[in-house]
Amino acid sequence: MSSVHIDFAVALGLVLLLALAASGASAFYYRTTVPPVAAGRRALLVALRALGIGFIILLLCEPVLRLRFTTVDPPVLAVIADDSKSMTIVDRAGDRAAELRAALRDPVFSRLAERADIRFYTFGVRLRPWLRPGTDTLALNEGATDIAGALHSLGEEAGRHPIDAALLLSDGAYTLGRDPVHDAENLGFALFTMGIGDSSEQKDLLIRRTTANELVYAGTRSPVSVTVKTSGFDGEHVEVSLSEGSRLLDRIPLTLGQGTREYTVDLSYVPEGEGTKRYTAAVTALPGELTTANNHRSFTARLLRSKLRILFLAGEASPDVPVIVQTLKEEKNFTVNSFTGTNRGGFYEGAIPRALLDSADCVILAGFPTVSTPANLLQQIAGRVSAGGIPVFFIEGPAFDYARAQVLGETLPFTISQSPGSEQMVSMRPREDQREHPILGTTDGVATWTELPPVYRRSAVYGAKPGSVVLGTAQRQNSVQSDPLLVARSVNRLKSVALLAYGVWRWRLMSQDAPATTALFSSLLVNTVKWLTTPEDKRPVRVISSQEAFSQGQPVEFTGQVYDQEARPVENAALKVVAQQHDLVFETDMRPLGGGRYEGSLEGVPEGEYSFRAPAMLNGVKLGEDGGRFSVGEMDLEFQDTRMNSSLLRQLAFRTGGHYIGPDGLGALDSILSARPAFAGRTVVHTSELELWHWQWLLAALIALFAGEWTMRKISGML
């Protein structure tokens, strides 16, 4: 049914009255002409003049043409086909790929197409429109199955283009995303499901899970727990192994029991080297397995140096030296080499080997240097610290010579503006605004520190160098001084910390009976060394992968941040990730999230070790570049659970008011849908408006009418 209406800005009666007036005025104007013209031509001139004036009146009354008509759109059926690797499995029920293709060729779709609109989609990692449906175009190579994500995307698609029902063709085994039941319930229309495959346990042997530490120390044995799942075997002997590339690290024999079982096998290895390494757990393949693609599983571990190497230099023998050294050695990940100076300029332990200085991760100076310290040794230490960016932890001592320490330059985070005088006793009071600093982060606050026995310092005017942070100040009895006692500094990739007091053995030995303070000194030393040896991230571009190791089929996800030279977030940078393994290259542009944050992902990345780089550009200018590594393991998600999940498919159909369709029930789909009132054509009302007073053709008609009148007058000799 269609309807046409014209509305005006004024009353319709006034429009008609003005139109009649225009007609009367035109007739009166041409009642007589000079020279006289035939009656027919005069009538034509009257009509042209009347119509022209009438159109002008029409434009002034702002006419709006309203059109309304209705159509009946056919119901829409969405067909979603599983395009993942698990659909290539051949089980006791047959070839899943052949069954899926046969279902898509079923005549039921031809019958439905006569009265319904059928839209085809495929899904694996995500839902994709199937623009050219055809069973021969199914690749069946998606590395993961995200049913929840597919249903969520289908719901969004229904918000743009109505969908009345959907048919899911799948084995129901989802390997990515959340449980799809919630997304199915939010669809708003019935979901019909057809299970493809065998729902019984298959004869198979697979690595179910590996449990290993992500961070390990080189040279320290690390355990790995491997869970092996078996089904359909009885009495067979296999071997579970752990390897790095072609190098076998450990292996344990395993005898399989009857039925479906899981075994936990404990392996171990001694990591070698540094950086990220990939290891593979595998179980022997047996004849008759459903697939051998799940007989191995890889994981990565980040290898750290076995221990942090600390070089401890004391200016002279004092009670502090053995207490500090012993406390440091109690930390299992520290290796401490200590040297105590003599009054003749040497060390009781002998000369410092150059290799120890070159390999040190941190240098601790306790009352060092003194007046006896050789200048060439100070020059050597200063050069190595500055060139290698070795962090320094300074602890004052009674014989410390500040003038001689000037050779160390910017290494020390403090200044002394007058010669040290008499000895005084002080306590440390942490700054309230620094209570969360990593060096102080394990303490309970100011009160805990003030419970420690006082220590010593020499009276002087201490100051913090520019760029330093005062973590704690000196307190004498009840008087809090502004002089710094604990200072930290990080400038130009060089970190340093200074504890401007000595007699710190009192914090260890005289607080053993107080639970609140017994571990405070040890915590201070360990936290300081860890803070000093942890590099700070000041890169303008920072991009990391969401994890270091991915399974086959998993999207490799990245998050990034971009900053300008003043450390302000950049929101509109062109940031991309380029991953490479030999000649194989994958690339993706990262999406901005606001606040200088970005995200992106790579899909379909095959097994192997990859390096990536992430350059950021802004208006053609390069802001910086980051990079890293990740690995994709040999384990394929799609072959971890090879059963058809009929219970999930039935639940999805039940929760949405649909039906679960068996292998032979697809042909009845058209009759099932015909019986559903919701699957019917919908009446759609279409309306449109046209503002005639803005319509260019009305203006053209007006010009044509007056031009025609002028032409007739010209021909008739009236001009």
Q: Which CATH architecture has domain 204-304?
A: Sandwich (2.60)
* Res 707: pLDDT: 86
Separation CA 521–CA 595 (nearest Å): 40
159 C-beta neighbours (distance < 10 Å), count: 9
Q: Where do the H-state alpha helices sit in 362-451? A: 375-388, 446-450
619 C-beta neighbours (distance < 10 Å), count: 8
Q: Which CATH architecture has domain 541-638?
A: Sandwich (2.60)
Closest CA to 220 of 179, 257, 271, 263: 271
Whether 308-533 and 204-304 are alike in CATH topology: the answer is: no
What is the full DSSP assignment across 58-114?
HHHT--EEEEEEEEEEPPEEEEEEE-BGGGG-EETTEEHHHHHHHHHT-THHHHHHT
* Res 169: pLDDT: 94
Q: Where are the domains of the chain?
A: 2-70+689-715, 75-193+643-674, 204-304, 308-533, 541-638
* Res 134: pLDDT: 67
Pairing relationship of beta strands 362-366 and 308-314 according to DSSP bridges = parallel
Q: Is 7 helix (H, G, I), strand (E, B) or coil?
A: strand
Tokens 């306590």 found at:
427
Q: In Å, how far are 107, 227, 290, 492 from 256, measured between CA atoms? A: 47, 13, 16, 60
Angle among Cα 83, 88, 93 to the nearest 5 degrees reads 115
Q: Is 3 helix (H, G, I), strand (E, B) or coil?
A: strand
8 Å CB contact between 620 and 535: no
User: 82: burial class by Cβ within 10 Å (0-12, 13-18, 19+)?
Assistant: buried
* Res 566: pLDDT: 67
* Res 481: pLDDT: 66
User: Is the four-CA dihedral 402, 406, 408, 412 of positive or negative sign?
Assistant: positive
Separation CA 326–CA 504 (nearest Å): 13
Q: Is 689 helix (H, G, I), strand (E, B) or coil?
A: strand
For 75-193+643-674, CATH gives: 3.40.50.410
The shares of helix, strand and coil residues in the chain, as percent rounded to the nearest 5, are: 25, 40, 35
Q: Which region, left, alpha or beta, applies to residue 493 given φ > 0 means left and ψ of -120 to 50 means alpha?
A: left
Separation CA 291–CA 203 (nearest Å): 9
8 Å CB contact between 608 and 573: no
Q: pLDDT averaged over consecutive 10-residue blocks of the chain (719 residues)?
A: 75 81 81 81 83 81 82 89 89 87 90 92 90 74 87 92 93 87 92 90 85 80 91 91 92 91 92 82 90 83 79 94 94 90 90 89 93 89 84 92 84 81 86 83 62 88 88 79 86 86 91 78 90 77 83 84 81 92 90 89 85 92 89 71 88 93 87 88 78 79 84 81
* Res 558: pLDDT: 92
Angle among Cα 338, 339, 341 to the nearest 5 degrees reads 150
8 Å CB contact between 411 and 392: yes
8 Å CB contact between 56 and 702: yes
8 Å CB contact between 307 and 217: yes
Separation CA 482–CA 547 (nearest Å): 46
Q: Which CATH architecture has domain 308-533?
A: 3-Layer(aba) Sandwich (3.40)
* Res 595: pLDDT: 82
Backbone angles phi, psi at 492, to 5 degrees: 55, 45
Q: Exposed e or buried b for every residue in 430-452, given b needs 16+ CB within 10 A?
A: bbeebeebebbeebeebebbeeb
